[in-house]
């Protein structure tokens, strides 16, 4: 992906928003958010493009949330 990073490009169902140096996702605690803050734009860009927009199934936050919802559904 090249050019401007648009929030609409994200495919992950748990993605909420992003800033210049952070990715914000649904949090593990109900009614919360998780914010991954990077020391620079490049680290955030890599995370956003690789996981939020393409291979979100490989993201640790996605896997943790998926497991939480799976356990809730089984309860």
Max distance between CA atoms of the chain, in angstroms, equals 44
Q: Domain count of the chain?
A: 1
Model confidence at 3: pLDDT above 50: no
**Is 30 inside any structural domain?**
yes
User: 35 near 23, Cβ under 8 Å?
Assistant: yes
**Is 45 inside any structural domain?**
yes
**Is 38 inside any structural domain?**
yes
* Tens of pLDDT, residues 7-63: 678 999 999 999 999 999 999 999 999 999 999 899 999 999 999 999 999 999 999
pLDDT band of 1, cuts 50, 70, 90: very low
Domain that holds residue 45: 8-74
**Is 2 inside any structural domain?**
no
Q: What is the pLDDT of residue 75?
A: 84
Rounded to two decimals, the pTM is 0.84
Q: What is the pLDDT of residue 2?
A: 42
What 3-state DSSP class applies to 60? helix
**Is 47 inside any structural domain?**
yes
CA atoms of 48 and 1, how far apart (whole Å): 10
């Amino acid at each position: 992906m090249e050019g401007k990073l648009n929030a609409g490009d994200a495919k992950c169902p748990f993605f909420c928003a992003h800033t210049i140096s952070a990715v914000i996702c649904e949090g593990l605690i109900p009614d919360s958010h998780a914010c991954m803050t990077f020391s620079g734009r490049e680290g955030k860009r890599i995370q956003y493009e690789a996981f939020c927009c393409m291979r979100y199934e490989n993201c640790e936050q996605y896997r943790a949330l998926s497991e939480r919802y799976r356990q809730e559904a089984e309860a």
